[in-house]
Amino acid sequence: MEEFVVETWGQFERWLIHTKREPFNIGFTLLQPLIFLIFLGGMFSGIWANDQAGMNYRTFILPGIVTLTVFTNAMFAGVAILFDRETGLLTRLLAAPIRRGSIIVARFLYSSLVSAVQVLLMVGLAALLGARLATGFEGLLGLLGLGLLLGFGVTVVSLVLAFKLKGHGDFFAILGTITLPLTFLSSAFAPLDSMPTWMRWLAYLNPLTYAVEGMRAALDPAGSADRVVTMVLALVAVDVALFVWGVRALKKHLG
């Protein structure tokens, strides 16, 4: 176990060093969700009734932007592994006397760290722009915890794709195709009740919806704790299913 921790930490440090060498990329990564919060929140806040859903629009969409940010970071977790594979570095890593799981866990921890920093920045900016974070620190923990649960399952999918796809072009094509449909087939930017029936049913099948609804309940002082627990259990079930699938897929591929 101690060796695994050391190996994972070594891989994690590698990604931190890589980030330090590319400040523009990390700056843009941190800036993008803030742009959504400023402009999307400003665009629709005028047509959103102040008492609708018990919160103003920036408060309402904050969980949606957090969820979209975590989803994007988790999906991009596999891109770096894919580039390692294309350059031959991954082959050398797999041949090294380290556990293969350390490569995957380190990448998940790195993407989770980036997401956590983004969430903290978004919460601070949202408060300055008038979002009401009535549940305070507990609500913030809810955002981070639910984001972590969503990110785990999505990271598994991303890493499986990184090993199975032929190149990064295919990966970006898939990412570009699924991101917007998954975003709009969730309650990220509009209540479920406002959707057409067919969209609402698809939203119920979308893991992003459970993350958004759980975060929204965590930020609402009148929100039900049972609802938060239900959303957490739903995400855990998704994570377990994706993890089992991912382990089998990777074992078959690496074997």
243 touches 156 (CB < 8 A) = yes
Residue 233 lies in domain: 2-254
Q: Please tell me the distance from the alpha carbon of residue 37 to that of residue 179, in angstroms, as a whole number.
A: 18
Residue 77's pLDDT band (boundaries 50, 70, 90)?
Answer: confident
pLDDT at residue number 54: 59
Place of tokens 């087939």: 185
| pLDDT-wise least confident of 13-27, 43-57, 131-145, 238-252 | 43-57
pTM for this predicted structure: 0.85
Number of domains in the chain: 1
